Structure 1
Amino acid sequence: MPLALCALLAAMFFAISYGAKDLDLATVWLAIAHYDPALTAHQIIHELRLPRVIGAAVIGAAFAVAGALMQGVTRNPLADAGILGVNAGATLVVALSFAFLPNLPYTALMALSFGGAVLSTLFIFLLGSASPGGLTPLRLTLAGSVVAAMLHAFSTGIAIYFGLSQDLAFWYAGGVAGVKWTHLELLAPVIGVAILGALTLGRPITLIALGDETAVNLGIRTRRVRAAGMIVSVLLAGASVSAVGGIGFVGLVIPHIARKLIGVDYRHIIPLSALLGAVLLVLADLGARTVNPPRELAIGVMVAMVGVPFFLYLARKEGRHLS
């Protein structure tokens, strides 16, 4: 855990230092500790890079913890905000907003996007639970994939009909370039409280992972824990998607890495996932800015380069256990 924290601080410091204009470490330190608005370098750091890098860290942590919770409460190793349709619901609402309410302020757009994420998740759970035998990891994954494909198709149709393809490109690919201090003032408290709530669920989710019968015998109310876990995970994923678009795979990859490093106790998996998720998104954003300057790649592309092979590996390894 201390190593992960050190890695995060180092990644953030280098991400603030490097970009279209490289700045030496002394300048970065002075801009953070003794900000002088008269200096251009300080303005670049304080107004552009600091909120962007902090936003990447906060949102990376949120996506990773959301994925850890989803995998824990569903016992589904492939659970993730993107795979379970949270991103698709948010994107559809954003497309509708661009089409019919084009002058909405950003805060209102974030609120509507979050509402879309919540509604799509509820629909997926209802659809997965409707089959005889109730909700299983396989049914949840299939329902999420089907609903996500359907919602993406609706979003694409709306974008084509209303000529919104360029406007929606950000939401499809995701990115933290637009994150400002005002956005962090809204996001950071919500995500911080939700992560604290996730930490309180560490022990019961660990017991649920051992099996429902074991958890019930140890006094765990499994339905309440699952409901609380999904509420917190949707809150984290929905808030993140509303701010930066549909960045996938962070919540899929990071919890698995955390389990490999620290074991199966969610009291440790959740905080380590938060740190590693923050590191991944900060480094992905740094890569997106520096691979082909002054042009930027979509941060979602950088994450997908890691996430897609990892997903295929997990699907092959864990598929026989999903049903």
Structure 2
Amino acid sequence: MINKRLEFTYHYTLTPEWQQQIVENLGATLIDNKLLIIPEEIASGGSVFLEVLPGLSVHLLDMTFHVPVAITRAAKDHNYYMIYYDIGDEITTHILGDTVHQAGYHSKLGMGFMDSSVTGVIIPPVNERSYSLRLLVDKNYYKLLAATNRTAELSDLLFDESKNTLFFYSHIDSRSKVLLNKLKEDHHFSSSSFELKLKHIALYLLNYIVDRTADFEPIINKLSQQDIDNILKTSKYLLDNLLTEFPGIPVMADIAGMSGTKYKTLFKKILKDSPSNFFSNEKLLLAQKLLQSGDFNHINDIAYELGYNNPGYFSRMYKKMFGFSPVDVLIKSIY
């Protein structure tokens, strides 16, 4: 029986050999250079790694850990971007630098796009299903795909690592969420059609992210690890304080330890929205959960719970975002 937290470090490669690190560190079994099975005393379930095509690989993890684990992804190979999606049953803690970020069932943001030069740590929940998918995309291949939606000059700027860092956190878009949820519900590692299905979904997810990022406002800025840590620290602060009013740019910039102008620029680069819009949208997404929770009988109660002084304003903002009134989705308390 293992009581203390297991800690180990690995680094990805676009080819299967990285899995040997898990075999050596945890005593895992590797089958056909694709399927990893962790010893049952550590976790049940497994993970699958496939090379989809040259320049694109996918890693699907579906495990229930039975002991505390901290897994560090080292920044050793710098030739790929990692796009991850987390739809686990409970919260998985991600640590980038000194900043804690969360993804999973009860958390706010479940998708990230990052350069392989950024180190990360994940701490999966114990005795809850962890389910995540990672796309590893060769940088030159991704640049080639993204160039179809940008001018050559802008594309060169975006992918010039001396001037710009590609990195952001976001919600999982609806199209990707449908694919991932279906895979989570239906898949069986041993199925004869599973590999084909996983490769098919990986290609769709890559296509969706290329389309999605084409709509982002290009912000050319070279990010340091400290910049990333400080911006994510403030996004966590906002997510932890959705029941209050927006604290204001001066307060948030002070938490980040940077000027207001720099803070607004870097926040929008990493979170793809202004700090105030991000806060407002997350507050309304929380409202959606509260409306369907069955804990409230009146719209006004939810508005006040969320820190709105004017319930009418809350209703207008909700309808503007979702297209229907909050009263249309309110599930009243049975008590």
> TM-score band, normalised by the shorter chain?
under 0.3
**Structure that is richer in strand per residue:** 2
Higher Cα Rg, which structure? 2
TM-score relative to the length of structure 2? 0.24
- Relative contact order, higher structure (CA 8 A, sep 6+): 1
Q: State the TM-score, normalizing by the size of structure 1.
A: 0.24
Higher helix proportion: 1
